[in-house]
Amino acid sequence: MSSHAYVAEIATDRDGNEHVVQGWQDDMYGAKLGFWLFMFTEVLMFGAMFMTLTYYMMLHEADFVHASASLNRYLGGFNTVVLLISALTMGLGLLKMRHGDIKGAKTMIWATIVLAFLFLGVKGVEWSLEYSHGVFLGLDALQPGNEHSKPFGQILFFGMYFTMTGIHGVHILGGIGIMLWLLKRINSGKVTPEHHILHFNIALYWDLVHLIWVFVFPFYYMMGAGTEMDTATLSSTIEAISHLGGSNEHH
């Protein structure tokens, strides 16, 4: 047994009888309640952002539709599938841990980490394409009052888009970090099939991360689907990616 393995604390009553103390490693209900409270604060934060987006969409519908049509639904859709698969691998990892298959659980966690990095890589490509088209926080197009400024409604849309996807990306990075920490604790014997509350809560966190994106995708990417501008998205994406690849080879 590892020297870091979980050891239950024992308390002795007045009659000399020993009793196992309910530690946090065994407190499944307390751990669930505490983490659900944390998740509730996350829902409040992202829920407020979605409500703000909905409110301004009602005020600037045409600008929002036009801005949404310029986003890349193919890359956004691909990332949606990636996160859905990562939710599956994370869930399978938890099931394997519960059934005593520690090696299989670690394999599924590593698969989730790889998919998380894939998501971030695709999002990086998407942001670089938007930057190459002059649409990014701090650039003239999203600054009011100059000749390159987009309409105010589009500035609002892209401001919220980069803010929400950026915060979501931070949550992805945080998820990668805690999954690596989870692997470390599994290897040290602190997370086992008998004491897997940490694994359970991290899987729950990852469910929230992918669920948020399931709402982000239709809210931002599908609003402008079917417009004239949207029909050129695929060809422009392929052309832009090829241009980026050619630029990298040139340098």
Highest mean pLDDT among 164-168, 221-225, 244-248: 164-168
Nearest-angstrom CA–CA distance, 177 and 151: 39
Is 182 a residue whose pLDDT tops 70?
A: yes
Q: Is 12 helix (H, G, I), strand (E, B) or coil?
A: strand
- Which amino acid is it at 47? G
Band (1; pLDDT cuts 50, 70, 90): very low
Nearest-angstrom CA–CA distance, 51 and 65: 17
Question: Model confidence over 128-168: pLDDT tens digits?
Answer: 999 988 888 888 888 888 888 898 999 999 999 999 999 99
Question: Model confidence over 14-28: pLDDT tens digits?
Answer: 777 877 665 555 567
pLDDT value, residue 242? 61
What percent of the chain has a predicted confidence (pLDDT) above 70?
Answer: 82
- Say if CB 83 and CB 244 are below 8 A apart: no
23-237: what fold? Four Helix Bundle (Hemerythrin (Met), subunit A) (1.20.120)
pTM confidence score = 0.80
Is 83 a residue whose pLDDT tops 90?
A: yes
Q: Where are the domains of the chain?
A: 23-237
Nearest-angstrom CA–CA distance, 141 and 130: 11
pLDDT value, residue 77? 94
pLDDT value, residue 6? 53
Picking from 25-39, 46-60, 172-186, which range would have the lowest pLDDT averaged per residue? 25-39
Nearest-angstrom CA–CA distance, 27 and 35: 12
Nearest-angstrom CA–CA distance, 42 and 170: 13
